[in-house]
Structure 1
Amino acid sequence: MLNPYPLQFQPEFKERVWGGRALEKFGLTPPEGPIGEGWMIADHANGTTAVVNGPLAGKGLNELREQFGTEWLGSKGVSEKGGRFPLLIKLLDCNDDLSVQVHPTDSYEGLPPGELGKTEMWYVLDAKPDAKIIYGLKEGVTPETMRTALENGTIMDLLNQVPVEAGDTFFIPAGTVHALCAGVLVAEIQQNSDTTYRLYDYNRPGLDGRPRELHIEDSLKVTSYEGAGATSMKTSGAEAGEWLQLATCDYFTVEKGIVSDKWDMSTTADSFTILIICEGNGSLAWNNDSDSLAYKAGDCFLLPANLGEYSLSGKSTVLRSYLP
């Protein structure tokens, strides 16, 4: 019988017109070109990551899900719709502005077959001076005023633009109009979905030289004009050895922790745990500290639900995600 252990994966890299090379700063080796996304832990038709460490090396997350099911992923760890791993973990390098976009809920009838809605959250790992994001609509925007603004090219006048810095976090429920902008590097925790509706793309060409497709009608239908409950916060108040909750919803809970000494914790039978190392380095130990892995910024780990007790040591900033 194979004992559970922390799993690391080979990222699936995605070329994007707005991407860059910043993921290399984490020691990752993306292919040539503008790489916008590193899918770090993924079980999706558009990208599945494979284990790179331990006895399961070479197996895809989909194979692990099929082989171990809820024993390793937890009683809540397989999505009821589609039967896949419920979350998708990314690192995003925004060398240019992303399209202004909005995501549907699980109940939207226009979803592709088997696809989930997309509620997500961002943690800003790095931001250049004067970096910003687009985060929600200004008050009073209606489907009619948004359609008019799209037709006459004034959509940016209806959007909230928010300055950002490292350590900021943003919860983005489905229905929230949003866009990351140039100069930010973020960790993204989201529902396992690859459905995005583009409202506006700055009239720029895509990687193939042609304008990228817009999804105006779907966008107007799924937008939450009165707000979907988006929240943001500064996280500089996080204290060593304590978890600061950044976001919680039906799909995930995300917390920030500062590691300064050995920190003991444990998984639960309900859910796997995902660790994203944001800064620093250290060691992840389990099996009564008899097994350990070194970690550094940019590393992502999937801890099986049945791993039990584990510990973090070193000097680092960590995001912990699990199913509520």
Structure 2
Amino acid sequence: MKLYPLKFKPIFKYRIWGGEKLKTELNKNYDEKNVGESWEISNVSGDETLVFDGVLKGNSLKDLIDQFKGDFVGTAVYKKFGNEFPLLIKFIDAKTPLSIQVHPNNKVAKERHNSFGKNEMWYVMQADKDAELIVGFEEKMTKEDYKNHLENNTILNVMHHENVNEGDAFYIPTGRVHAIGAGVMLAEIQQTSNITYRIYDYNRIDVKTGKKRDLHNDLAIDVIDFNLYKNYKINYNLDKNISNKLVHTPYFRTNILDINSTIKKDYSEIDSFIIYICVRGSMDLISEGIKYSVKLGETLLLPASIKKVQLKSKSAKILEVYF
């Protein structure tokens, strides 16, 4: 059986803060209310996405790795992760703000949860007027200062609030306190992990449970980075029809392509799968003479064994993600 570019069937997640944009803006198909997340490519236990079509329809990422090994994920990726898939790709729609939260690093997550840590990045696809993200602190902070702000319900006053627009991108390393604000829809690229420490949640009640959501301040306090940083937003170039570097880390690499032509891509030097996330417009990928369309709000995974493709669009912005 031969590998080909793969789409997966998304998994939709109810969230207390979720809205309708995944349906109205990205044409996702679901009936539930308050869907806040579309998990596009996931190997999280219990939430494994399955191949959408073709002869491999119904296969999970684990199935594909078991069957194709390095041909699917890349030889180096397979040696490092075995049958685990290292990345989780989501679209997120925040109608109301997410909790203020933080994620542990690989070491802590392994010790406490037998999980990867959760380094992640955001690419803003749409933002309402005056919508914002919360990233890091606005002033120098000690552990004691932080505890006082938590006890006094003033933690929001010392967080860095940043108004955002389409195209803004942020890297959220483990330890950085953060939250997506109301009115923001974004693409999220992260390590395969579902470990979140919630530190503040606006004292709100979840209508599904009738209760406040749990906070994890005892766990969070040891992993928070209290340092102050000058800039949290990523500055990047957006030259036409080439891969522009967005975020390159030990956990994933993301480029952005602004395409208005036909371009040839040769991935011979990259020993990894490639994931394309369409964040504006639409694109056709041509592999061995077969055309695969990627529309706004869709993802496509190119197995590592496929090295040469063409990307064709009149107008598209594509995130290009690999390990």
Give TM-score scaled by structure 2 length. Answer: 0.94
Superposition deviation, residue 224 in structure 1: 0.9
Alignment of 1:177-192 (within 5 A): 177-192=177-192
Q: Residue deviations 1:69-109, cap 9 Å, x none?
A: 22211023348468410000000011110000000000116
**Aligned to 2:188, what secondary structure does the other structure show?**
strand
State the distance in 2 between where 1:68 and 1:223 align.
39
Secondary structure, counterpart of 1:222 in structure 2: coil
Match of 1:274 in 2: 275
Structure 1 residue 87 and structure 2 residue 92: aligned? no
Partner of residue 291, structure 1:
290
- State the alpha-carbon separation in 2 of the partners of residues 3 and 229 from structure 1: 49
Residue 228 of structure 1: how far off its partner (Å): 8.5
Instruction: Determine if contact 2:275/2:300 at 8 Å carries over to the other structure.
Output: yes
Q: How many aligned residue pairs are there?
A: 319
CA contact (8 A) 2:86 2:192 kept: yes
Asked if structure 2 preserves the Cα contact closer than 8 Å seen for 1:121 and 1:169, the reply is yes
SS in 2 for 1:55: coil
For the 8 Å contact 2:121–2:190, the answer to whether it is kept is yes
Kindly indicate whether residue 9 of structure 2 is the aligned counterpart of residue 10 of structure 1: yes
SS at match of 1:240: coil
Structure 2 partner of 1:31: 31
Q: Which residue of 2 aligns with 1:208?
A: 209
**CA deviation map 1:48-87 (0-9, x unaligned):** 1000121101111121122112221102334846841000
Letter in 1 for 2:36: G
Paired position in structure 2 for 1:258: 258
Gap change, CA 1:131 and 1:147, over 3 Å in 2:
same
Q: Which amino acid aligns with 2:251?
A: Y
Distance 2:82 2:287 in 1: 32
Distance 1:112 1:56, change over 3 A: farther
Distance in 2 between residues matched to 1:272 and 1:312, nearest whole Å: 16
- The 2-side partners of 1:20 and 1:100 are apart by 18
Residue aligning to 2:61: 61
Sequence identity percentage: 35
The answer (yes or no) to whether the contact 2:245–2:256 under 8 Å persists in 1 is yes
Cα deviation, 1:11-55, whole Å, max 9, x if unaligned, reads: 011100000111112221123110011000001114110001211
Q: Superposed, which structure 2 residues align to 1:1-324 within 5 Å? A: 2-24=1-23, 25-78=25-78, 80=80, 83-108=83-108, 111-206=111-206, 207-226=208-227, 231-233=232-234, 237-268=237-268, 270-287=271-288, 290-314=289-313, 315-323=315-323
- Name the CA shift for 1:249/1:310 in 2 (closer, same or farther; >3 Å): same
| Residues 96/12 of structure 1: CA separation in 2 closer, same or farther (3 Å cut) | same
With over 3 angstroms needed to count, the CA separation of the structure-2 counterparts of 1:70 and 1:15, relative to structure 1, is same
Q: Deviations over 1:181-205 (max 9, x none)?
A: 1000000000000000011000001
Q: Is the 8 A contact 1:277 1:317 kept in 2?
A: yes
Listed one character per residue, the Cα deviations across residues 162-191 of structure 1 (whole Å, up to 9, x for unaligned) are 000000000000000000010000000000
Which consecutive unaligned segments of at least 5 residues does structure 1 have?
none
Q: Does the residue aligned with 1:107 lie in a helix, a strand or coil?
A: helix
Query: 2: distance between equivalents of 1:119 and 1:250?
Result: 10
- Give the stretch that moved more between structures: 201-210 or 184-193: 201-210
What 5-or-longer segments of structure 2 have no aligned partner?
none
RMSD between aligned residues: 1.8
CA contact (8 A) 2:100 2:177 kept: yes
Query: 1:77, 1:270 within 8 Å by CA — same for their partners in 2?
Result: yes
Closer, same or farther: CA 142–186 of 1 in aligned 2, 3 Å = same
Match for 1:294: what amino acid? S
1:297, distance to aligned residue in structure 2 (A): 0.5
The 1:69/1:44 distance shift into structure 2, 3 A limit, reads same
> Which amino acid is the alignment partner of residue 275 of structure 1?
Y
Asked if 1 retains the 8 angstrom alpha-carbon contact of 2:110 and 2:117, the reply is no
Paired with 2:150 and 2:38, the residues of 1 have a C-alpha distance of 31
